[in-house]
Structure 1
Amino acid sequence: MRLRLIPDETNINFFRYAWVTFGASAVMMMLSVVVFLIYGLNFGIDFRGGTSIRTQSTEQVDIAAYRDALAPMNLGDVSITEVFDPTFDDNQNVAMIRIQAQDGDESISPQMVAAIQDALRSVAPDITFPSVESVGPKVSGELIRTAILSVLGALTAIVIYIWLRFEWQFAVGAVAALIHDVVLTIGLFSLVQIRFDLAIIAAILTIVGYSINDTVVVFDRARENLRKFKSKPLVEVLNISANETLSRTIMTSGTTLLALIALIVLGGDVIRGFVFAIAWGIIVGTYSSLYVAKNIVLMLGVKRDWTKKDPAAGTKYGHIDT
């Protein structure tokens, strides 16, 4: 006896509430854009420029005392946050201090970093500094441009690939699903203000690759079924294709999410943002493959395989499950 998460024969009508699901996606995308315009993103040092200092001490983090110790140094915008993680020991108190890039300097000098560390030691004598990262404003600007170009380049390459392999309607549907996934991911990060850095860009590119893989599986089965069922309406063919690949979709997404949940819980705060972005992307990517990409293809229509004149040709073995 083998475990079946999805029955062998499924007949879910994914288009039954098409306008509800598709409309909800459109509304969520618009809300994501509004949230982004209002709150923006919590850019990390990679994109803002400056210095990030991670501290660790057996004493409780006193943000006010840390800030008072650094105030005489006139460092400008200083952000101090305590880091919480279930994997930390009881006496492991961690804070993250972010200091803006100083005018005229690519990054804070080693002498200034040493002075900051001495000032913090006056508050917590046993304090240590596991990591110190500095990025200049010029470098951060280049990183922003490179990140945008990398995402746009990935989307362009995917459009070309889908267009060459399938009909152009499939390419439009796939890109619409990818834009849906990216916009919702950025909207969520803007809403909850999770730090947005180069690791999140890597996560977005991973989401793009995972989502298009899921969409291509459905589209590939749809292309086969368009040749197999010559006389069936396009909506039925797309439904059949989604149902035939549903087991694979759920199993792949489910097993990947199990690993990601383990990383979110046990992986520590350093990679939590990256893992959270991928987990969210898998959820919305699976949704968009089933409810966004296929809807676009249905709206645009797609040319059938007319190599045989008889529109009923090729349906002799249509009842056999491939």
Structure 2
Amino acid sequence: MTKELRIIDFMGVRHYTSALSILIVIISLASLALNGLKLGLDFTGGTQLEMLLDRPADLDKIRDVLEKEELKSPVAVLFGSDQEVMIRTQDQMKIKAQEKLSNTIAALGSGAALESLERPVRELEGYADTLVIANLGVDLLQQKDLFPSAKYGRVEYQQRDGKVLVTLENSVDSVYLNQIIGDLEAATGAKIQLRSSEFVGPQIGDELRDQGGLGMLVAFVLVFLYVAVQFQWKFSTGAIIGLVHDVIVTLGFFAFFQWDFDLTVLAAILALIGYSINDTIVIYDRIRENFRILRKTDPHEVINISISQTLGRTIMTSASVFIVLFCLYFIAGEVLQGFALALIIGIVAGTYSSVYICANITAALGITKEDLMPKAKEEDGAEATEAP
């Protein structure tokens, strides 16, 4: 015997679920407006360092050193193995090194100040940077030994318009980076090898942000057109409202808790659009089928039957995806945690919206069986009847 399907009255609580959805969206939009997204290095620009340690990395000690350096939004995560560390900061090493030198020079008193950092003149080829220092003599600079050759290599002093020009063989950012590595080695007791140092400019970050937003907009438009062609515009409107709900809620969580929003999270948002619409289309397909079979049944009851029939599939699909995402979050490493977290939140919101929002909006727009009847076949039948 076939087990009788239990019909759940989803449409009976549509007013409550609509109010809940509106409240969640308002809170998410308020979080986005007040807090904004905590954009990661991919969007803001900054420095990314990859280091190899000769022993398992102690991330707590590494983060303590980065905090003491007062780097902007420092992040230290493992990638690859427990001896490989990726450090990200929104600071540029050159600007941060210049700030440090400026504070050191100003501490000498007498109005001493680092005015600028210039390229060396052609006569000093092979040197990296030239510091322009005001209100300070060469003798005092050499006496204080602010630029030891062990760190800066060869150092040349010149006078120009009452100011001192200090030309260094090693760039100030490389010296500052070596100092950070030295501090990390002292804190962790490990020997550290710098594998790469990359700078992401803010212009590249703006371009990535704009392209990501454009990609999301194009995805919405294509989904709307696809659902409108395959089903009907009332279904398409419900699907788009559900997708917008899912994206806003996910972004709202990241804004409220100030989690880093980087390219992996953006990729998760785009993947969420595909997952959520897939779940919605399964429900829509069953609604369309039942409208043609249950022609005398109330539209709300048809939707209840359709969602009840697909509920098991929806729960099993979401559960199987959750298993993968939890593995990514807890096992795959911190680099992918943002991606997994965004999808976990988004899939919860997407499952909810597929059941309670998309179908609810479609019903509110007054979907009927006449909207889903194959008009072309009816017209062909009418022509055949009129033929002699």
For normalisation by structure 1, the TM-score amounts to 0.80
Residues 234 and 367, structure 2, Cα contact 8 Å, conserved in 1: yes
Residues 211 and 289, structure 1, Cα contact 8 Å, conserved in 2: yes
SS of aligned partner of 1:51: strand
Inter-CA distance 62–154: structure 2 relative to 1 (3 Å threshold): closer
Deviation digits for residues 83-127 of structure 1 (CA, Å, limit 9, x no counterpart): 589x986xx695734033578xxxxx9956533330113313323
Inter-CA distance 66–200: structure 2 relative to 1 (3 Å threshold): closer
Partners of 2:62 and 2:341 in 1: CA distance: 28
Percent identity among equivalent residues? 33
Does structure 1 residue 11 correspond to structure 2 residue 11? no
* Superposition pairs of residues 281-320 of structure 1, within 5 angstroms: 281-305=346-370
Partner of 2:338: 273
Residues 78 and 97, structure 1, Cα contact 8 Å, conserved in 2: no
Deviation digits for residues 162-182 of structure 1 (CA, Å, limit 9, x no counterpart): 111111110010000000000
Structure 2 unaligned residues grouped into runs of 5+: 96-128, 130-169, 186-190, 375-388
**Which residue, out of 46, 64, 87, partners 1:96?**
87
Partner of 2:150: none
SS of aligned partner of 2:370: coil
Residues 77 and 335, structure 2, Cα contact 8 Å, conserved in 1: no
SS of aligned partner of 2:61: coil
Residue 28 of structure 1: CA displacement? 0.4
Partner of 2:278: 213
**Which residue, out of 192, 196, 204, partners 1:139?**
204
Residue type matched to 1:245 in 2?
T
Normalized per residue, the structure richer in strand is 2
Does structure 1 residue 61 correspond to structure 2 residue 61? yes
Structure 1 unaligned residues grouped into runs of 5+: 1-6, 72-76, 104-108, 309-322
For normalisation by structure 2, the TM-score amounts to 0.67
Residues 40 and 260, structure 2, Cα contact 8 Å, conserved in 1: yes
Deviation digits for residues 133-187 of structure 1 (CA, Å, limit 9, x no counterpart): 4211221111111011000000000001111111111001000000000000000
Does structure 1 residue 25 correspond to structure 2 residue 21? yes
Residues 42 and 190, structure 1, Cα contact 8 Å, conserved in 2: yes
Report the RMSD for the aligned CA atoms in angstroms: 2.9
Give the stretch that moved more between structures: 222-231 or 109-118.
109-118
Partners of 1:64 and 1:293 in 2: CA distance: 47
* Superposition pairs of residues 144-159 of structure 1, within 5 angstroms: 144-159=209-224
Inter-CA distance 123–175: structure 2 relative to 1 (3 Å threshold): same
Partners of 1:259 and 1:67 in 2: CA distance: 34
Residue type matched to 2:256 in 1?
L
SS of aligned partner of 1:134: strand
SS of aligned partner of 2:11: coil
Residue type matched to 1:204 in 2?
I
Partner of 2:99: none
Partners of 2:352 and 2:180 in 1: CA distance: 48
Partners of 1:231 and 1:131 in 2: CA distance: 69
Inter-CA distance 272–133: structure 2 relative to 1 (3 Å threshold): farther
Partners of 2:178 and 2:76 in 1: CA distance: 19
Larger radius of gyration: 2
Inter-CA distance 8–185: structure 2 relative to 1 (3 Å threshold): farther
Residue 274 of structure 1: CA displacement? 0.5
Residue 230 of structure 1: CA displacement? 0.9
Residue 61 of structure 1: CA displacement? 1.6
Partners of 2:198 and 2:301 in 1: CA distance: 55
Deviation digits for residues 4-60 of structure 1 (CA, Å, limit 9, x no counterpart): xxx872311112221111211110001001011111111111111121235566565
